[in-house]
Amino acid sequence: MPNIKSLLFGDQEDEWGYKRESENIIVGYGYKKFSKPPVIGKNPLLRSNTVIYNDVTIGDNLRTGHNVLIREKTTIGDDVLIGTNTVIEGHSRIGSNVSIQSNVYLPKNSYIEDNVFIGPCACFTNDRYPIRVKYKLRGPIIRQGASIGANSTFLSRIEVGEGAMVAAGAVVTRNVPPWSLAIGAPARIKALPAKLRVPNNI
């Protein structure tokens, strides 16, 4: 069986990072001089077409779906699930025991604490006035134990407090206090029902 690493990158370690061309593909572009290969902990399960950039640090027991993209300067804790077609744009931090479902978009400068659930197709942004106004890019801050519903959308700089829930389809334009419920478009903040005031068991 051929050595795939040798086929793609050559036998010499110093050849890594140089552009290699064939009839139909280009494999690899040089990284910045001081960048480092990704560090991944024990027992990872990386499904097909998962792409992890340099300067990424990941803990133990990572599981990915297909076509996952994790860009540079991202730190991920232990026991994290990242679903199919999810994009993490880099310069982000994700805690441990986090479940990110399929088709989620996390922009540059996102911060996700431990025990957070993010439902499928949730979309977070980091630019409040796209292209029109110079704006410091800042993604979401999702505090410990929060749950984010499917197809919810977030403006930039939104903070979701500890234990809070965001309903499916919500359009979140302001911060969500701890242990509260955000529901609707634009989202209204309501008290979280007593039966939902429990920790996430991920």
Residues 150-177: tens digit of each pLDDT: 999 999 999 999 999 999 999 999 999 9
pLDDT of residue 148: 98
* Residue 145 predicted with pLDDT over 70: yes
Query: Domain segments of the chain: what residues?
Result: 35-191
Structure tokens of 148?
């984010």
State CA 62 to chain mean position distance: 12
* Residue 101 predicted with pLDDT over 50: yes
Whole-angstrom Cα distance, residue 160 to residue 178? Answer: 7
Structure tokens of 21?
């061309």
Give the neighbor-by-neighbor strand order of the sheet with 56-58: 39-40, 56-58, 74-76, 93-94, 111-112, 141-142, 159-160
Residues 111-124: tens digit of each pLDDT: 999 999 999 999 99
Residues 9-27: tens digit of each pLDDT: 455 444 444 455 556 655 6
pLDDT of residue 13: 46
- Picking from 52, 95, 90, the residue whose alpha carbon sits closest to that of residue 202 is 95
Output 200 or 12, whichever has higher pLDDT.
200
CATH of domain 35-191: 2.160.10.10
